[in-house]
Amino acid sequence: MRLPTDYKLTEIQQQFIREKLLTDEFIDMTRETTMPIEKLMAYYRCVIMEIETKFRVLNEQLSLEYDRNPIESIKTRLKSWDGIVKKVRNKNLPFNLKAVEENINDIAGIRVICSFQEDIYKLADSLLRQDDVKLIRMKDYIANPKKNGYRSLHLIVEVPIFLQDETRLMKAEVQLRTIAMDFWASLDHKLRYKKNIPAADAEVIAKELYECSVISADLDSRMQQIKNEIAQAELIE
C-alpha cells in the first residue's frame, strides 16, 4: 500500500510511534538488520573499484602500444536496494543476503565504452586472461543482437577483493559497448521507463529504434574499416 504524499499522522499516532515503536530495542534491531546489507554493499563498491582499475591499467598500456586510447569512458553503478528487492521478487528468490549474493549478478555494474568494436573484444580478452578474473557467463549481444536491436558484450565475472583479514570473491557485471551502441541503449532505456506512451505509438517507436540499431551497427563496422585502412596505410608509409 502506498500512502498519499500529503498523508499526515495524527499527534496520537506520532506519540504511539515515539513511545512504542522507536524504542532502543527497535533501533538496535534495525542496526543489526541493516549492518550486513551495508557491509555487502561496501564489498560490491570495492569490486567495482577493482575492475575499474583493471580497465584503466589496460587502457594505459594499450594506449602506449597503439598510440590511442581504446576506452572512451567508464561508467559504474551500484544497484539500488529497491532494485535488488524487485529482482528478488521477480526471480522468486528467498529473501536473504546469501540468495541475493548467489543469484543476483549485476549488483556491481561496470560499463566500458569504446570507440571501435575490435577494442571491445581486445579488452574483454585481456581482462579474462588475468589470473584473478573468473568468467561466470558471457552474453555476446554484438554477435547476436537482441530482437529489439540491443547490442553490447556482457560478462559476469568473479574477482577477489582484498580486505583487512580476508579475501572475498565478488561478482560483477561488465558491459562493453561502442559509443554508438551506448547512444542507442541510452535512448532505448529512457523510452522503456516511459509508461504513458500509447501502445500504437510505442510500436512505431520500437520499429524506428530497431532501424536505428541497424544503422548504428553499420556505422560501427564502417568506422572500424576506416580505422583499419588508416592503420594499414601508416604501416606502408
Binds ligand 0O2 by CB under 6 A, chosen from 39, 75, 86, 146: 146
Query: What is the four-CA torsion angle of 220, 223, 224, 226, rounded to 10 degrees?
Result: 160
Nearest-CB residue to ligand 0O2? 150
- What are 67's three cell numbers? 598510440
55 binds ligand 0O2 (CB under 6 A): no
Phi, psi of 204 (to 5 degrees): -65, -45
140 binds ligand 0O2 (CB under 6 A): no
E runs forming strands in the chain:
71-78, 108-114, 134-140, 153-162, 167-178
Separation CA 218–CA 23 (nearest Å): 63
Mapping DSSP to helix (H, G, I), strand (E, B) and coil, where does residue 4 land? coil
Stretch that binds ligand 0O2, among 32-40, 117-125, 146-154, 223-231 (CB under 6 A): 146-154
Residue 140 Cβ, how far from ligand 0O2 at the closest point, in Å?
10
Stretch that binds ligand 0O2, among 32-40, 54-62, 144-152, 214-222 (CB under 6 A): 144-152
148 binds ligand 0O2 (CB under 6 A): yes
Give 188 or 220: the residue with its C-beta nearer to ligand 0O2.
Answer: 188
Of 211, 201, 181, the residue nearest 73 (C-alpha): 181
> Are the C-beta atoms of residues 84 and 107 closer than 8 Å to each other?
yes
Residue 220 Cβ, how far from ligand 0O2 at the closest point, in Å?
16
Residues near ligand 0O2, by CB under 6 A? 105-106, 139, 146, 148, 150, 154, 185, 188-189
